Chains A and B, each alone.
Chain A
Amino acid sequence: MSEGPDEVTLQRKAKGKRPFYFSDPDVDRLLSMVMALTGELSVTRDRLDTLERVARAKGLFSASDIETYQLTDSDMEERAARHRAIFKEVTRIIVGELEDLEDRDEQDYRAVVDQVENDG
């Protein structure tokens, strides 16, 4: 393994101007960081998951037990289901707005305030 002064650092940004999508690009930046954070959280949860599986399988565990644990396709199915649950939580705001668009015609909130303030 290369270490120290010889350590190789790969290029991490693809050449080419990155597009931004929201009217304020800081929203894109924030979203990117949120997703990275979500990823790291998921990685951590996966590690715990392995820990629990190993502990259950062996009665006790070590770090190398975790490193060498071989995931089966069905282990991964279970994990993918948990990822879906996390996504549902994290993208709630976006999916929620879609539900409005699909099923409800949300009244203007100000109009509701007007209504409750002035109905009596």
Chain B
Amino acid sequence: MSIAYKEQHVHDALPETSHDELARQHFVRSFKEHLVTALHPGLKTAYEKRAKPRFVAEHQREPQSIQEVGQVMKQDSHYQAWSSLLRTSQEMMWSAAQIPVERAIADLAAQAAATPKIGSLRLDPDLQIPSYHTAVDIHCQPGGYHTEYIDNDVAQGAIYDRAVYIYAMGQMGVNNADMGDSTVAWLKQEHPDFKPTRILDMGCAVGHSTLPYASGFEGAEVHAIDVAAPMLRHAHARASSMGLPVHFSQQNAESTDFEDNSFDLVVSHILLHETSSAAIKNVIRECHRVLKPGGMMLHVETPPYEGMEPFDTFIFDWDSENNNEPFWRKSHLLDLEALARDAGFQSHTPIQIMVPSAFQETQRSNTFQGGDFGGGGVWFVYGCQK
């Protein structure tokens, strides 16, 4: 089985890649595909035939938790090989995306600065980067989202933009926009009368998910925030080159300078699992504060663990111990109803649904995570109306 090949849309903010640099990136993409299609299925076999019987022999019952599955799977040679290769593929992905950016870092900064701009960009050099981002480099991007090497640096943004495409093996569309596209499509279908005129995207990174709101809700004023300056600079140049006006600002989603009751729609995409127990509460409270009464909060994530088989949970949880995602596990085990209620969302029941992916062109691998982000064909959406 293979996943259809389609190259990323090359916009003006991406670095030029030489022949061999591009070939190196394509190799990583194929490496990941091989892990997903050829080695991932064997994990289940190894569990059923080798690891689980070992646990049952010792305990006279089946494993019931991530920890119990882990006890026996971590000893299994196939799991060890798969994990070691998956971790290696992640490291090779970042390296392959870094090489062309490292070579042309100054040119890229100049190019982003010179791009004719629409929308706006407001940076805050004094903003403190939250400790949940400085403690480890999230999903192993060396330097995280925030590191700056030179003045007006866009390097981390340019690297992230390309790496996401390789990571998702193109399964989030040529603009990596599937999470935004899917949510906009769902909103239009389920709430055809909802016409947001002021929209906020929190933790926008390079704006992959932001732009669908700018193109999908014509005339709406779209704001997007992130703590990381290199992401925002790249995002602004990228959105401008694609002809979509967005107002980017460097702010912490836990506490923004937007006015109370000022947005119809507040969204985030895979932000929450990269925060912390304290921060997630602050973010939801901030969503409540800036939303107009009747406004909508929507957070796109991967599905919670509740109701999943112990083996599937263990595999799905791989990132929390192996890919520098320290809040991944806890964020998938939260009481989301209580989280919304405690943040002030008390008039409506929170939404917790699976939204179909808008990106249907490719054959999907239909595995979720385990190194195949975007392959699931659905996104989990959590939110609430104010």
- Report A's interface with B, CB cutoff 8 A: 1-2, 8-16, 18-22, 27-28, 31-32, 35-36, 38-40, 42-43, 46-47, 50, 66-67, 69, 71, 73, 76-77, 79-81, 83-84, 87-88, 91, 94-95, 97-98, 101-102
Chain A neighbourhood of B321, CB < 8 A: 19
| Interface SS of B by simple majority | helix
Bound: A79/B323 CA distance, A: 28
Chain A neighbourhood of B18, CB < 8 A: 67
Chain B neighbourhood of A81, CB < 8 A: 2
- Asked if residues B20 and A36 are in contact (CB atoms below 8 Å), the reply is no
Bound: A86/B135 CA distance, A: 38
Chain A to chain B: the 9 pairs with minimum beta-carbon distance, closest first: A16-B136, A83-B30, A46-B23, A14-B137, A14-B140, A87-B34, A21-B80, A11-B142, A21-B84
The answer to whether residues A10 and B7 also contact, given A66-B19, A67-B18 and a CB cut-off of 8 A, is no
Q: Which of B5, B105, B147 interacts with A80 by CB under 8 Å?
A: B5
The answer to whether residues A84 and B84 also contact, given A2-B105, A16-B136 and a CB cut-off of 8 A, is no
6 other contacts beyond A12-B142, A35-B85, with CB at 8 A cut-off? A8-B150, A19-B321, A21-B74, A39-B27, A39-B92, A43-B23
- Asked if residues A14 and B80 are in contact (CB atoms below 8 Å), the reply is no
List residues of B (41-95) whose CB comes within 8 Å of A's CBs.
42, 45-46, 49-50, 74, 77-81, 83-85, 87-89, 91-92, 94-95
- Which residue of B is nearest A42, CB measured? B27
Q: Which of B4, B20, B85, B147 interacts with A31 by CB under 8 Å?
A: B85
Bound: A116/B102 CA distance, A: 61
Bound: A27/B26 CA distance, A: 25
Bound: A10/B144 CA distance, A: 12
Bound: A67/B136 CA distance, A: 37
- Which residue of B is nearest A49, CB measured? B23
- Which residue of A is nearest B140, CB measured? A14
- Asked if residues A1 and B103 are in contact (CB atoms below 8 Å), the reply is yes
Q: Which of A10, A19, A67, A73 interacts with B87 by CB under 8 Å?
A: A19
Question: At the interface, yes or no: B113 with Cβ under 8 Å from chain A?
Answer: no
Q: Which of B105, B136, B324 interacts with A8 by CB under 8 Å?
A: B105
- Asked if residues B7 and A87 are in contact (CB atoms below 8 Å), the reply is no
- Asked if residues B149 and A10 are in contact (CB atoms below 8 Å), the reply is yes
The answer to whether residues A1 and B107 also contact, given A32-B91, A73-B5 and a CB cut-off of 8 A, is yes
Report how many residues on chain B are interfacial, defined by Cβ distance under 8 Å. Answer: 66
The answer to whether residues A91 and B38 also contact, given A11-B147, A46-B23, A67-B19 and a CB cut-off of 8 A, is yes
- Asked if residues A83 and B34 are in contact (CB atoms below 8 Å), the reply is yes
The answer to whether residues A14 and B142 also contact, given A21-B80, A46-B23, A87-B30 and a CB cut-off of 8 A, is yes
Chain B neighbourhood of A18, CB < 8 A: 87
Chain B neighbourhood of A91, CB < 8 A: 34, 38-39, 85
- Which residue of B is nearest A99, CB measured? B42
Bound: A56/B259 CA distance, A: 63
Bound: A7/B20 CA distance, A: 21
Bound: A42/B33 CA distance, A: 15
- Which residue of A is nearest B7, CB measured? A73
- Asked if residues A8 and B106 are in contact (CB atoms below 8 Å), the reply is yes
Bound: A79/B98 CA distance, A: 22
Bound: A50/B18 CA distance, A: 12
Bound: A91/B42 CA distance, A: 13
**Nearest CB in chain A: distance from B311 CB, A:** 16
Chain A neighbourhood of B142, CB < 8 A: 10-15
The answer to whether residues A10 and B101 also contact, given A95-B38, A97-B77, A97-B78 and a CB cut-off of 8 A, is yes
- Asked if residues B50 and A101 are in contact (CB atoms below 8 Å), the reply is yes
- Asked if residues B78 and A12 are in contact (CB atoms below 8 Å), the reply is no
- Asked if residues B136 and A14 are in contact (CB atoms below 8 Å), the reply is yes
Bound: A16/B150 CA distance, A: 24
Q: Which of B28, B31, B46, B143 interacts with A101 by CB under 8 Å?
A: B46
**Nearest CB in chain B: distance from A2 CB, A:** 4
Chain A neighbourhood of B5, CB < 8 A: 73, 76-77, 80
- Which residue of B is nearest A40, CB measured? B24
Q: Which of A31, A84, A98 interacts with B34 by CB under 8 Å?
A: A84
Chain A neighbourhood of B74, CB < 8 A: 21
Q: Which of A10, A18, A27 has the most CB of B within 10 A?
A: A10
Question: At the interface, yes or no: B6 with Cβ under 8 Å from chain A?
Answer: yes
Q: Which of A22, A47, A50 interacts with B84 by CB under 8 Å?
A: A22
Question: At the interface, yes or no: B322 with Cβ under 8 Å from chain A?
Answer: yes
- Asked if residues B31 and A8 are in contact (CB atoms below 8 Å), the reply is no
Bound: A10/B24 CA distance, A: 18
Chain A neighbourhood of B33, CB < 8 A: 80, 83-84
- Asked if residues A16 and B324 are in contact (CB atoms below 8 Å), the reply is yes
